[in-house]
């Protein structure tokens, strides 16, 4: 069940997450207001009582405390009905000893259509999509996975933390951060200069040890949180 605002096309990076009223295992809620002031990860799965999805939910739950440390909540979604979600999380607790604490949306198809989650050629099943929403309700990252590939939850955690650090310190994160291969471990990339003067000033600052530069356009430093 969902009441979504009218919007053409799925939300893109930088868009406001569309307002929608949804039915979940925690009752009826309104997104994104339900998580106001917090980041949240909305992730869809093809269906309850399926093997790959079960492993993903266990992995998400085991890392839920780490998400909370980042002021980030979790919410799942599939086109199954709410009682099916409830029975599935009961099965996970009974068989695997893991209690799913975050809500799961019971979608009739409205949310999936609004967010572009229906897998082409796979009927009404939803893809393994991940939307990372910041504390202002803005879509910051979107991941898509096919049904056959389970997600790496540690990468989603890394993405949330990386974006939060980028916002706070106005820096960029290198590939494989925090284990940089080109720059050092825990190093971040200094934003590129926008003119000749700032480029020269940057090299002078590097000489003073404020950060390291491979060239004027690629400077980095170890982040002191």
Confidence of residue 123 (pLDDT cuts 50, 70, 90): low
- Average the pLDDT over 124-149 and give the result: 90
Question: pLDDT for 61-82, tens place per residue?
Answer: 999 999 999 999 999 998 889 9
Q: How many CB atoms lie within 10 A of CB 101?
A: 13
Q: Considering the domain 171-222, what is its CATH architecture?
A: 2-Layer Sandwich (3.30)
Question: pLDDT for 38-49, tens place per residue?
Answer: 999 999 988 899
pLDDT tops 60 at residue 7: no
CA-to-CA distance for 118 and 168, rounded, in angstroms?
35
* Total residues found in the chain within this entry: 225
CA distances from 206 to 166, 203, 211 (A): 21, 5, 5
Which residue in this structure is represented by tokens 């039915």? 23
Name residues whose C-beta falls within 8 Å of residue 90's C-beta, 6 or more positions apart in sequence: none
pLDDT tops 80 at residue 141: yes
Strand pairing partners for 215?
A: 218
Predicted model pTM: 0.89
pLDDT tops 70 at residue 121: no
CA-to-CA distance for 60 and 56, rounded, in angstroms?
6
Query: Above pLDDT 90, what percent of the chain?
Result: 65
Confidence of residue 124 (pLDDT cuts 50, 70, 90): low
The residue that leads in pLDDT, 109 or 198, is 198
- Average the pLDDT over 10-37 and give the result: 94
Q: What are the boundaries of each domain within the chain?
A: 2-164, 171-222
CA distances from 60 to 72, 75, 139, 163, 221 (A): 12, 10, 20, 19, 32
Residue 167: per-residue pLDDT: 96
Query: Above pLDDT 70, what percent of the chain?
Result: 92
Per CATH, the homologous superfamily of domain 2-164 is Glutaredoxin (3.40.30.10)
Question: pLDDT for 205-225, tens place per residue?
Answer: 888 888 899 888 899 999 876
Choose the catalytic residue: 53, 84, 213, 219: 53
Summary mean pLDDT of the chain = 89
Confidence of residue 202 (pLDDT cuts 50, 70, 90): confident
State yes or no: is 53 an active-site residue: yes
Question: pLDDT for 159-172, tens place per residue?
Answer: 999 999 999 999 99
**Residue 134, phi then psi, degrees to nearest 5:** -85, 180
CA-to-CA distance for 221 and 102, rounded, in angstroms?
37
């Amino acid at each position: 069940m969902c009441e979504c605002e009218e919007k053409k096309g799925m939300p893109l990076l930088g868009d406001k997450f569309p307002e929608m009223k949804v039915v979940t295992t925690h009752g009826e809620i309104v997104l994104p207001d339900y998580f106001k002031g917090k980041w949240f990860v909305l992730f869809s799965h093809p269906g309850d009582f399926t093997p790959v999805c079960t492993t993903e939910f266990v992995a998400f739950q085991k890392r839920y405390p780490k998400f909370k440390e980042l002021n980030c909540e979790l919410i799942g979604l599939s086109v199954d009905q709410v009682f099916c979600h409830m029975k599935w999380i009961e099965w996970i607790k009974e068989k695997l000893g893991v209690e799913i604490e975050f809500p799961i949306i019971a979608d009739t198809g409205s949310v999936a259509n609004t967010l572009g989650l229906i897998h082409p050629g796979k009927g009404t099943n939803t893809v393994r999509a991940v939307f990372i929403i910041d504390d202002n309700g803005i879509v910051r990252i979107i991941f898509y996975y096919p049904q056959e590939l389970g997600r790496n939850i540690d990468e989603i955690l890394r993405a949330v933390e990386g974006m939060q650090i980028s916002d706070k310190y106005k820096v960029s994160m290198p590939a494989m951060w925090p284990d940089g291969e080109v720059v050092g471990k825990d190093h971040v990339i200094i934003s590129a200069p926008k003119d000749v003067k700032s480029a020269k000033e940057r090299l002078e600052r590097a000489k003073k040890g404020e950060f390291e530069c491979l060239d004027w356009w690629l400077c980095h430093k170890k982040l002191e949180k």
